[in-house]
Structure formats: C-alpha cells, structure tokens
Structure 1
Amino acid sequence: MSQNLSLKHFPTSIFMIVILLVGALFLFSNSMFTYPSFVHAWTQSDRLALAMNFQENGFDFFHPATFNLLTKGGITQVDFPIHDYLVAVISSIFNSDLIFTFRLYNLIYSLIGLFFLYKIALQLGISGFRAIFATSFIFTLPFFVYYQNGFLPSAPSFANFLIGFYYLLCYKGNNRTRNLIRSALFLTLAALARSPFLIYLVAVFLFLLWEQLKNKKLAILQLIPFLLGIILFVAYFQYNAYLAKTYGSMFLVQFLAIESFTDFISIVKVALDRWSDQLMSPFHAVVLLFSLLMLLKGVYRNNSKFKDHYGLVSYFAISFFGVLLFFIVMGKQFVDHDYYYMDTFLPILVLLVLFCAQFVKIEQKWFTPISTVLILFFFYFFSYAKEIQEKRYTPVFDDKVDYAYRVYKSSINDLEKWGITKQDTLTILEANSTNIPFTLFKNKGYTCLNSSEDSVLKYLNKPSNYVLLIDSFFRMDAYRNFPGIINQLELVNSNQSISLYKKEIVSDGSSDFFKHLLFEASFDFETKIPTNNHFSGFENIQEKEGAKSLDITPESEYILTFHDTLRDLDFSKSIHILHVADYLQSDTSKIQIVCQYGDYYQAHFTENTITEKNKWVTKQYQWEIPISKLKESHEIKIYYWNQQKKSIAIDNFNLIIYQ
C-alpha cells in the first residue's frame, strides 16, 4: 500500500484498531485463563498437551508428544506444530501460565490477521468504513470468536492466510518480489500448521500459472516461491507419515468421505441443525443475503467491473472448487467439528464479503436508512457473539467432560497424598478425552474412552502402575457395561469423587465399589422388567424397531414411579441418585423426571436435555438430597410426570441410590 493511501486511511485505521481491541476485551476478558473443558475440549486439550510436552522434552520440535501412551512414548504425528511450540517457548521464557499464554498467543495472532483483512479491503479500493464493517462482520462470526483465543492452530492459520493474501495483492499492485515471497511464506505457514489451508496455497500457484498461460508469458520465478511452499508441505507430510508409522498418531489420519448424494444431504442437514445459529448470527445472515442479492443485481446490469477484477474472481473460483473437493473427502468431519469451517469455508466467505463490499452500490436515497440499519447490526454482531460465547462456556446439562475435568482438578493434591509420583503411569477408565486428566496430573498413561468388557480388559493389560476411575462414572457406566470390573481392581484410596485402584484379580470386589448402596435397579423391558415391589406405572410396554420399550403416551400422566422407604441411612452423608436410560422422541417431549423426598423436590425436563428426534439417545440425570433433608420415615419417589401430555419411549432403565 502506498504511503499516501496509508495516510489517507490513517483515521479509519486507528478506529479499526480500537474496534479490535475493545471488541476483544468485550468478548474474551472472561475466558483468558479458562481451561479447555467446553466445546471440543478433547481436541483443544490435546494441543495443550503438545505444548506442555515440548516444555518437558527439551523443546524437541521434531518429536511432538502428548501424555497419552497409546502412541510410542507419547510421540505423535501432527500437522506442523509451530504454534504449540512457540507458545511453549514463550511461556517458559516469561514463566507465564501456559493456558493464558496459549489463549493470548492465538488471540493476538487472530487480531493481527483481522487487521490485515482490513488492509486487504483498502488494497482493493474499498472505502475505510466499508472495510471496517467487512472486518467486523468476520471478527464477530460466533464460531470464529470461540476459537480466536482458543488452542487450535486453525485461528493462526486463518490469520496467516489473510496476511499471505494481503501480500499477494500488494505484489499484483507493485510487482515487488519481496511481497511475492512474503505471500508464499505466510500461505505456506497456514498450510503446514493446518493442512486444509493447502487449498489456498495451491490455488495461488494455479491462478498465477493460469494467468501466465492466458497471457502466453511464462514467468517461472513468479511460481517458484509457491512451488517451494507446496514442496515443503509435501516434505513435512512425508515426515508426518514416518512419525505415524514409527510412533502412532493421536490425531485423525483417515478420510471421512461423503459416499453418496443421500449422505451429502444428510450431512448438510445435520450440520446446519447443529451449527447454523453459531456459524453466523441472524444479523450476519441478513446482511450477507442482502449484499449477495445486490451483488448479483449489479453483475446482471453491468459485469464489466467484474471483468476488470477477473484475477480475484478466478482465485475465488479455484479456491471454491478445492474446498468442495475437500468437503467431499472429509465431509463427515463437518458434522461434529465446526473448526473445519474455519479451515475451509471461512476464507471463501471472506472473499465473498470483499466482493460485496467492493461492488455493491447503494443509491443515494437509500444511503441513510441502510447505513442506520448497518450501524445497529454492527452492535448486534458483538452482542450475539458474546451471547454464543457465554453459551459455549456454559456446560450443557450433565456434561460429562466438564464434570470429569472438575473432579480431576480437585483431585490433584489427593493423588500426591496417595503417593502418586510424576513417574507413575495411570490408566484412566471412562476418561471422556485423551489428555485432559494428564494435563492436570502431569502424568503419562492410557485413556479408556468406553467401558465395554473388551475395552476395559484391553487397557487393564497396558503397563500402567495404577487405575483411576471417577466414582459416578463407575456406577452409571463401567459397572453397567462390565459388572466383572469389580473383580479386576483393588481399591487403594478414594476421595468420594474419584478412586485409585491397583490391577488385582479379587474374588469379591463389591465392598470396594459400593460402600453404602441403598438401592439398585436396571431393566430393558424385555428380558428384565420392573417389579411391583418398588415400581408402578410400567404397563404400556411396546415393541419398537425389534425391541421392547416403555411408551409414555399423551394419555399417561404419572409413569414408572419408583417408591421406597430407604433404610440404614447414614445421616452424616447426603443421598445421591443416579439415573440413566435411553430415550426416543419424534417431537419435543416435555416430560419432567422428578425426585421427591419429604419436602425435597427437584425435576429435570426432557425438553431441555433431549434435543435429538427420531433416534435413541442415552441421557443421565442425577440428584443429591442434602443431609438436612434426611428423615428415617420419609419415602423417596422418582417418577416421570407427563403434565403436558406428550410422548416419549424409554429403554435400558438404570437407577442407583447410594451414599
């Protein structure tokens, strides 16, 4: 950008910087020290583990590792881990908290990238205020906001893409080789750290090659920086393959392709249902839709301006084609991992927004009302992004990952008291993630993510010193899936939330696991059904999809009521009730699952906890009756209350009451 252009836009540039800084303070001030135990906690904690292990292994860049010994020595294949490495180095130099350093690093990188987006807009001849609005539009996309101060390399790779694209435009403007090299450097860094960005590096190479062929003027030197970037990517890809073959991988190394058109429709439908309100706000959607309609109208009336910018249009077309190919190859990832949108479709959206900002014209008579609406929308962008940010940092009801994180964190000192050293290896049963417990305990070990008999026995055969299992996960998952687990472990110590075991074959381990079990019941309505001793209202058992289940119909109000007077209570301990069952609803059910004991009354609402329709889902509910409520003669009741006259099916019912 010329010096005159820089001076011309100096006031708006200062305004842009203020918006980015104030916006960052508004959006991120509450989460800068927060552990990644929320949306995509698994993947983010893996990145945290990489940085921690760089600090532990003497900053050996070419042997990245996590704490999980499912790979040899914890060493793992992973995309070029430059950002995890730099975070580890910075944290060590300044002796700063690693979580805060990681979040601050990604946030600063993201803000720099966004400022370069603003500069891209200016470079394209877009006015200062339009450039500010376009940048703010991208800045406040709710899903992007969440990752700007997160742990994934997608955020700095997106920033590197923006920086590289800016220097590409500079090169097209002044033909200076240094800008070409800078563009190739940053686009290569983007691709190395997050491989889907290879699309945009290759797209530049193909665009420049096509441009030369079209002009019948081959300029090899112009292509070399990007060709070298592609070669460097391939070289590291081969090294990564060596790491995977030699040590293993904790990260995805396989395609998850869309296999048919029906599959494509299903993936798009599920992804939109899950992410549509978080990919962009309604305000973003309205602005984008209106701008695209105006853009198409302008192209229809006069496409000469587009012809003048055929280079940008060509790069967009090549990139979009590459993204579509990637979506076909990895489409199933887009259902569960919204950061894939940042790696692929977000740069496409940036180009669309730039097109709109550059080419959409507003008639003078509409300028004031439209400008007023856009200013209002500008503030709505931030408020909606803040709302989604808070939602993402609020654990969903009975979220097992966040609960596990809190138990692991509160048990750090207990492990030290129990004699566990950093050299001890641990097997974590029902871990819910591959590295969260280890990043807290600083131990290496193995994580068993489900408690089927085969999985448990497989991981108990791993060479670890001790086994850890969260107590409530044992009662509701491990014991239910593999009752024989109680004969595989011997209790070493417990803090009533998590227990430490030795791997030991015992003839009767029930006393180690059920210290004070008050009641237990499980039935599938087929081979096992409730008894009249403790249950009533279970008469409407129907067959669905080849298996029997209990149907709650609009005609039923109180269903499957458990009632009992608990005996042998310990009045110094609260009563815990854990309930797990499978549910199937065709429409939103509004059933209350109630626990009543004397004047204690608490209900869980299926409307809030079961969002899936036409598929069986497993849900867990729990209650705690405080010590102050305990009475010898009180009867406990747990029942389904269909006050709203809705329908739902129940199967694989489990209930455990203990102290």
Structure 2
Amino acid sequence: LFIPVYSYYALAYLPSAQAFSLFLIGLAQWMRYRATGNGFWYWVAMGILCFWIRMPFILIWFYLWLILVVEEGGLIRTLRWALLPAVSAFAGQWLFKEWMTMTYGTQFLTNFLPANGMAEGLHTWWASLDFWVDEILSPTQWLGVLILLGLSLWYRPDLKSRIMYLMLILAGLATHLLHSLLLIDQFSAHEYYYLDVLLPVIIIIMVMAFPRRYQNSPGRFSWIFLCLIPLWFWHAQEVFQEKDRLAATQGADMARMELRDCRACLDDLGIPRTDTLLTFETYTGNGGLIACGRKGFSSLSTNPIAMKEDLKRRASVVVIPRRFLLPEVYQDFPAIVDWLIRIGGNQHIAVFRKLDSPTPGQFDRLMVPEGQGRQRIPLFASANQLPHSWEWHANVDTSLQPWVLPAHQEYGPTLRLDPAEARHLALRAKFGSRNGDYAVSWACDLSVEGNPPDIRYGSIPIAHGDSLAWRAWETDLPDTRQGSPLSIYLWNGGGADLLIDSLEILLW
C-alpha cells in the first residue's frame, strides 16, 4: 500500500493499479490454501488471478507453479493438480475477454513491442529501471527487501534449500527481464508497467522468503515492518506530491476542449447514434467514444500494423483529432487515406467515412521525391475533387540536388483548384529549404462567391546558415464553393536563390 507508484495510481482509472490490488487479494487466498491445504482456496485464488492477469504476463503464473513444484515436489503431480486447472480457468477468462474485445474494442496493446536485439534491449532495460527505481520502491523498501532476503537465507535449514531459493529468485527476475524485453518501449516510458511484472515477482519472493513453519508466525519479524512503515508512508506521499499534476491537468483540459463538440458535429453530419465509430488518438482510451456519444473502437496507437488491423474492424465512421491527423496518424501510416473519405468535421476533429477495404485513388496522393525532376504535390483531399493543374514557374534540377527558384523569380509553383462543392479545407505545407537569411513564405489566394480574394500568408522562417532546415505550416481556409477557384503558390520574397527539397502540400 505504500509503494510509490501504486499510491499514485491507486485512485486513478488505471487498470494496472486495480489489477495489482487483485493480485494481492489472489495471492492472499493462495497463501491461505498453502496454510490450510484446502483446495477450495486454490480455486478462489486462481479465479481472482484470472481477472488480474493479462496475456503478456502469464509467465508469472508459471512462476507460481514453479514454486509449487519446488516446495511440493513432483513435476507431473503438480502439473496435473495445479497448473492444468489454473490454465483452464485462465483460458475461459481469456476467451471472455477476446469476445469483449471483438464486441466493444480495446485500447490496450494487442501485440508485443520487442527490442531490436539483445544488446539494445538490455541497455534500455537497465536505463529504464535506473530511471524508475525510486518510484518502484522507496529506498527503505529496497532496504527491507535486502533484509528479508538475508534473513530468509539465514533461516533456511540447509545449503540445498538456500540454493533452491536463490534459483527461484533468479527465475523470478528472469521472468521480469523477459517481459521487459518483449515490451521494452512500454517499460521505458510507463512506470506503472512495473506494477504488472516486477512488483508481483518481488512480492512473491518475499512471501516465499521463509520456510513454511515461519510463515504462520510472523510476529517475530513484524517489528521490522513497524519501524519502516512510517518511512514508507512519508516517501510515498513525497512521490505523490512531486508528480507532475500540472501536465496531466493540461492534457485533460486540452482533451475536454477539443472533444466537447464531437457529438454535435456528428449529429450535424447526419451520422446516426447507432453507427459504430473508430477513433484514433483521442487522448484517452474511450474518451473519444464517450465525447461522440456513440459505440465503437478506440485506438491510441499509430503503429502501421496496429492501424491496419483497426481499420478492418466493423466500424463505419472514423474520427481523428486534427492535432494528430497529419503529424502522427498520416505520417506514421500514409496508406490510411486509401481507407477513408472525408465527410466533414470542425476545428478540432476530422470525420471520415471508412471503406470496407483499402481502395487506392480515394485521395490524390502525389509525391515529391527528393532529387527527382518530376515534381508532384500530394493532395489529402476528398474523392470528388475536380482535376487540377500545376503551373511551374521554376527551372527544375533533374539531378540528385534540390530544385532552385532563382532570386529574380518572386513566385514559385502554383496550384489552382476549382472545388466541385462547398468544402472546409485546411492546408499544410512542409519542405526543406536553404536560402540564407530570408524566410520562405506560402500564400493562399482564395476567392469565394466573387468577393475579393481572401489571401492567407504563412511564413516559414529558416535559420541562418547553409544547413537544410525543415519547417511546416498549417492553416484553415475559408469554406469554398463551386466556382470559387483556389490558388496556392510559393512566394520567394527574400530576393535570394531558393533551394527546395521534398516539397509536400496536404489539402484536406
């Protein structure tokens, strides 16, 4: 109860904290079984642990079974009466969770995130463990662990039992190491993952620290804990107070502000409340679905493999916060545009109709490969866009060098569109440039219903020097209507030769 990371997350809606509590309850029933020999408590313990454990952490169950093998004796006997019933109970619970996932979706990881090689994995594991060591246990708790280990070895009756206990300790630590290497990214960035793997191993080791005849008479050792509990309480409160609550509050405020109008937006688009949604990067697990007032699936991963699997789910509408649409979702998985047709949105979210299968050509996705002579611009636009034309006002270098807009040429390539229907457009420009001390500017010239052009200028400042600088600029454009041409052009107002690499424009 005084473990720092647990004390911080105990009152939060975090599955790891509640799961850790279930682990403690289940382990208590397991100890009751060991004390009484009544098989009923064994099944109670297994039932509770079923609800705690998740698929990647099943190795801890095998660790408990290994302890039974060592202490009860007889591999085949223990396999028959202990492991197989436990695995059967777990299999039933796992099938139930799989059905829940297929029906309602999940925000949890569905695949491992292993390290790229043993050397990198061990380095990351050690660095992350060192980074989180003060939150996994307090200094005095680590001291208590060492004291208990020393006493447990002292009270072991002979050398053989001491060696066996050390082997169990090494097996438990190997379990944690294996989990860490299979989910290395999570362990390096999320301290609460240690609630799932390392802390259960440490607690099991502590429970098994003494021969059984001492476990039923803990009074002789309780004075140690009575002396240390005040220190543990003080350290847990210190960690709790020092946690960066401001950043968490800011994130919650941002999510609330950007998702609060989602339901009204979907209602205005005529999307029935009965439709099934798929949300990407909506800040919290199911927060986007709650804000949209509809059932569906939620994904917080932009891993291409995970996104491809998510897009196969039985959902008809996709909602993505605009904050993450281009820099994360599209950037990590450009092929997502083959699955989507944009149907609307607001200043905070983009709403798409999801296709049943990827259909190339739903979006214009023209590329500007670096160093190639045929310069083409990618369009993140809707499927019914009218054909467009490019007017190039620059000499294009066809070698593996950037193309040049000479100093005497004030305007660069121009894109002209005549939208087929009213549409809310946003523009994002990104490229690398070298042009000395001057800034690079984009100008968007938009005419709506015959009114004077509404010109939007976006400046992308480039730092002084010859190094290639990458910048991006994004803006909303006034709603366009049929017969209202749109022009986007590059403006070289600095009066110097402009060198451009990998020009990319996204209209969406």
Indicate the TM-score class for this superposition, using the shorter chain for normalisation: 0.5 to 0.7
Alignment of 1:186 onto 2:48: yes
Report % sequence identity.
19
Number of equivalences: 391
Q: How does 1:574-593 map to 2 (within 5 A)?
A: none
When residues 210 and 426 of structure 1 are mapped into structure 2, their CA distance, relative to the original with a 3 A threshold, is closer
Post-superposition Cα deviations, 1:432-460, rounded to whole Å, max 9, x if no partner, equal 67743223223356779799999999999
Query: Which stretch has the larger CA shift, 159-168 or 439-448?
Result: 439-448
1:233 aligns with 2:86: no
In structure 1, the partner of 2:236 is: 381
Residue identity opposite 1:205 in structure 2: W
Structure 1 residues 442-499: Cα deviation after superposition (integer angstroms, max 9, x where no partner): 33567797999999999999997666554555687789998xx8xx9676564x4446
Q: Give, in angstroms, the shift of residue 535 of structure 1.
A: 7.4
Which residue does 1:538 correspond to in 2?
A: 463
TM-score by length of 2: 0.55
In 2, the alpha carbon distance for the partners of 1:499 and 1:457 equals: 19
1:411 equivalenced with 2:319 (yes/no) = no
Instruction: From the superposition, tell whether residues 157 and 435 of structure 1 become closer, same or farther in structure 2 (CA, over 3 Å).
Output: closer
Deviations 1:367-397 (A, max 9, x none): 9xx98886355234224224427357334xx
**Alpha-carbon contact 1:168-1:180 (below 8 Å) kept:** yes
Task: Specify the SS of the correspondent of 1:202.
Answer: helix
Please tell me the root mean square deviation across aligned C-alpha atoms, in Å.
Answer: 5.8
Take 1:458 and 1:170, find their aligned partners in 2: how far apart are those partners?
44
User: When the two structures are superposed, what TM-score results if normalisation uses the length of structure 1?
Assistant: 0.45
1:524: Cα distance to partner? 1.6
CA deviation after TM superposition for structure 1 residue 422, in Å: 0.8
Unmatched tracts of structure 1, length 5 or more:
1-138, 543-547, 551-578, 582-619, 621-650
Amino acid at match of 2:81: I
Counterpart in the other structure of 2:23:
161
Paired residues of 2:50 and 2:93 also in contact (CA < 8 A): no
Deviations 1:39-78 (A, max 9, x none): xxxxxxxxxxxxxxxxxxxxxxxxxxxxxxxxxxxxxxxx
- Residue type of the alignment partner of 1:541: D
The runs of 5 or more residues in structure 2 that have no matched partner are 354-381, 387-416, 442-458, 475-500
The 8 Å contact of residues 299 and 306 in structure 1, kept in 2 or not, is answered as no
Q: 2:249 aligns with which of 394, 402, 419?
A: 394
Matches of 1:427 and 1:332, distance apart in 2: 25
Closer, same or farther in 2 for the Cα pair 1:287/1:477, shift >3 Å? closer
Distance of aligned partners of 1:182 and 1:445 in 2 relative to their CA distance in 1, 3 Å threshold: closer
Separation in 1, partners of 2:30, 2:299: 47
Q: Is the 8 A contact 2:104 2:297 kept in 1?
A: no
Cα distance in 1 for partners of 2:145, 2:5 equals: 22
- Per-residue deviation at 1:256? 3.6
Task: Show the counterpart of 1:291.
Answer: 144
C-alpha distance 490-210 of structure 1, shift in aligned 2 (>3 A): closer
Contact 1:425–1:464 (CA under 8 A) maintained in structure 2: yes
Code of the aligned partner of 1:326? H
Do the aligned partners of 2:262 and 2:291 also contact (CA within 8 Å) in 1? no
Distance verdict in 2 for CA 1:345–1:453, change over 3 Å: closer
Letter of the 1:525 counterpart: S
CA displacement 1:320-374 (0-9 Å, x = unmatched)? 44334434444444234444322211112324666599799899xxx9xx98886
User: How far apart, in 1, do the equivalents of 2:261 and 2:50 lie?
Assistant: 42
Q: Which residue of 1 aligns with 2:287?
A: 436
Task: Indicate the residue corresponding to 2:62 in structure 1.
Answer: 202
Are residues 196 and 391 of structure 1, via their aligned partners in 2, closer, same or farther at CA, if it must alter by over 3 Å? Answer: farther
* Gap change, CA 1:501 and 1:528, over 3 Å in 2: farther
Amino acid in structure 1 at the alignment position of 2:10: Q
Q: Aligned partners of 1:451, 1:200: CA distance in 2, in Å?
A: 29
What is the distance in 1 between the residues matched to 2:30 and 2:304? 56
**Whole-Å Cα distance in 1 between the matches of residues 326 and 9 of structure 2?**
35
Q: Could you tell me which amino acid in structure 2 is paired with residue 271 of structure 1?
A: S
The equivalent position to 2:175 in structure 1, one of 300, 319, 322, is 322
Given that 2:437 and 2:465 are in contact with CA atoms closer than 8 Å, whether structure 1 keeps it comes out as no
Task: Give the SS at the match of 2:384.
Answer: coil
Cα distance, 1:654–1:198 mapped onto 2, change above 3 Å: same
| Alignment correspondent of 1:104 | none
2:433 to 513, 517, 525: 525
State how far apart, in whole Å, the 2-side matches of 1:415 and 1:506 are.
Answer: 23
Residues 430 and 504, structure 2, Cα contact 8 Å, conserved in 1: yes
Residue 249 of structure 2 aligns to a residue whose secondary structure is coil
1:263 Cα shift? 1.6
Other-structure match for 1:505 = 384
> How far off its partner does 1:228 sit?
0.7
Distance 1:177 1:294, change over 3 A: closer
Larger Cα-atom Rg: 2
1:483-498 map, 5 Å: 494=346, 496-498=347-349
